[in-house]
Amino acid sequence: MIRTTTPFFLTLLSMVLLSGYARGQSKLQIHGYLTQAYAFTDGHQFLGIPDEGTTDYRTLALQFGYALDDNSKLVIQFSHRRMGLSPVMAFEHDVKLDWAFAEYWFTEAIAAKVGKVQLPMGIYNELRDVGTVLPFFRIPYYTYGEGSWASETVDGIVLSTYLLADSPWNFDVSVFYGGWDTIEAGDPSVPVRAHVEDGVGGQLWLNTPVDGLRFGIEAHRSTVSGGSRAAGEKSRATTWTASVDARLERFTFQAESFSYNFGDGSWRSYYAYAGYNINEKLRANAQVDVGRLKLEINEPFFSASADANNRDFAIGFNYKLSPSLVLKVEHHWMKGYLVDDNPPDFFTGDPVKVQYTIIGASASF
Amino acid sequence: MKRVLLLSILSLAGCCLISDFTHAKAQQSYKIIVNLTNRTSSLTRKAISKMFLKKTKKWPDGQKALPVDRLSKSAIRAEFSKTIHKKSVSSIQAYWQRQIFSGHGVPGLEKRTEKEVLDYVRAHPGAIGYVSKNAKMDGVKVLTIKK
């Protein structure tokens, strides 16, 4: 307990002591965020949340940026994450290195980041745990996973540029190359570590003349080893994501569709989110998140097929005490296969229903 | 009783919904200022907004742009935000949080007082700020907002 709460209190203390570095144009910039929640379910354990409830549910990070000159900087971010009783926690260190990269701007419009860099994928991949800007505790699970099929970062290089910057219709483009570790949780009770290499892909955002409305598409392909594969076995994987992001003054609508094709099957997911600012402080949120697993196994002595649907419907409210301090409450109705305790068999079992509630507070500086 | 309760809830919700739309349209009470050496004399609203959001990083002559804001709770910041960014201060703060924590950038300097803004703009050739229209503009240049 002491071991897992130490990073929490150290970050809290750091947030108070270092908040002065969050403003201004000094060479050293320090920022951080923290979300602490209490969560419970009505039965099954899901996403690490037991029915008796847990307060061991938090995300926090400290980010240090140092500008070497006008065109280059170094950024390091450390994070700490607790997901209650989730088996995925076996792979989480108390404090982990989130990012460590060097950024260089060749021109005003072309930049390169090298190192452990955020992976540009969809609306939320670069902002997975920043509670003060997320409507719910977690970004859509069936699209972004928890370390599965995607990663927050790539160990490699990301090149970014803007196209037609002065036009009302303009583009943000990023391409990347590298590898990353990931967690495969086909059976959520027994997640396994896999390694992705030769990941190559890109993200394209089309910004429209409507302020806050943009459309995106991302695709990448890679080679995956480890995980549930035999030793030495490697498989090719391809993903693509299509996004609509309308962030207007009072109303936000976001929808994304995600596709992941791997050896024996595919994962398709989509979500739609709507948020409405009732006033400056109070925001209402609703989201439906759907994921569908298709498996087709044809081996000499075994063949089977599965078509497993998962869905999560959520409503929630955010109350902004200030832009950097937000209270949140959310309730979810989930039906699917990905529970932590005794998950039903994809091939023969029926989906289970779980309701869960998360109440939390998020701060950042 | 139920009708009274329902009406009360609907009225309260209605008040919340319209509260943000009832701002009286007032005349702009601030001026955009730059350093005296800055060769630019006018910019569009969108160009100013881009500069404060660091989407544009340089002036036309190649000088690094140094936007200087007022603290988030100041009334002039709220007006600047509404008229230049067409967004509330909290929306802009949310934008910066997304930029910071996705590793894309950090906001510019924030100054507590008008005098601090004026001093900063006088001292930095690439600076751009805003002060109330009644402030003494000695040593700075007022930028025209192009239609």
User: Nearest Cβ partner of B103 from A24, A118, A282?
Assistant: A118
Give the whole-angstrom CA distance, residue A102 versus residue A112. Answer: 8
**A54 to chain B nearest CA, in Å?**
27
Contacts of A61 in chain B (CB under 8 A): 101
CATH 3.30.1360.120 assigned to B29-146: no
Give tens-digit pLDDT for A323-356.
889 999 999 999 999 899 888 988 888 999 999 9
**B16 to chain A nearest CA, in Å?**
6
Contact B103 A249 (CB under 8 A): no
Cα–chain center distance at B144: 15
> Mean pLDDT lowest for which of A72-81, A160-169, A243-252, A307-316?
A160-169
- Does B105 touch chain A if contact means CB atoms closer than 8 Å? no
Angle at A78 between CA A21 and CA A50, to 5 degrees: 120
Q: Which of B106, B112, B124, B128 to mutate to test the interface with A (most CBs of A within 10 A)?
A: B106
Structural domain spans, chain B: 29-146
Token pair of A265 as six digits: 């099957």
High-pLDDT (> 70) share of chain A, %: 92
Say which residue, A174 or A297, is predicted with more confidence: A174
**What are the φ and ψ backbone dihedral angles of A47, each rounded to 5 degrees?**
50, 35
DSSP structure class, residue A21: G
Structural domain spans, chain A: 101-364
Give the whole-angstrom CA distance, residue A180 versus residue A39. Answer: 30
Q: What is the 3-state secondary structure (H, E, C) of A244-271?
A: EEEECCCEEEEEEEEEEEECCEEEEEEE
Token pair of B73 as six digits: 């709770």
Contact A126 B103 (CB under 8 A): yes
- Does A25 touch chain B if contact means CB atoms closer than 8 Å? yes
User: What ipTM does the predicted assembly reach?
Assistant: 0.82
High-pLDDT (> 70) share of chain B, %: 82
**B94 to chain A nearest CA, in Å?**
6
Look up the CATH architecture of domain A101-364: Beta Barrel (2.40)
Angle at A114 between CA A156 and CA A91, to 5 degrees: 50
Contact A77 B103 (CB under 8 A): yes
- Does A258 touch chain B if contact means CB atoms closer than 8 Å? no
> Is the predicted pLDDT of residue A30 greater than 60, yes or no?
yes
| Three-class DSSP category at B122 | helix
High-pLDDT (> 90) share of chain A, %: 64
Give tens-digit pLDDT for A123-168.
999 888 999 999 999 999 999 987 555 678 999 999 999 998 888 8
Q: How far is CA A230 from CA A192, A194, A221, A299, B125, in A?
A: 12, 11, 21, 15, 63
Amino acid at A151: S
> Is the predicted pLDDT of residue A18 greater than 80, yes or no?
no
Give tens-digit pLDDT for B50-76.
999 998 889 998 899 999 999 988 999
| Three-class DSSP category at A50 | coil
Contacts of A132 in chain B (CB under 8 A): 94, 97
Amino acid at A227: G
Token pair of B4 as six digits: 């009274």
User: E strands within A89-233?
Assistant: 96-105, 110-118, 153-163, 170-184, 192-207, 213-226
Give the whole-angstrom CA distance, residue A126 versus residue B105. Answer: 13
| Three-class DSSP category at B99 | helix
Give tens-digit pLDDT for A81-115.
999 999 888 888 899 999 999 999 998 889 999 99
User: Are the beta carbons of B52 and B67 closer than 8 angstroms?
Assistant: yes
Predicted confidence at residue B25, as pLDDT, reads 45
Contacts of B94 in chain A (CB under 8 A): 132-133, 323
Contacts of A75 in chain B (CB under 8 A): 103
- Does A24 touch chain B if contact means CB atoms closer than 8 Å? yes
Contact A24 B90 (CB under 8 A): no
> Is the predicted pLDDT of residue A117 greater than 50, yes or no?
yes
> Mean pLDDT lowest for which of A164-178, A244-258, B17-31?
B17-31
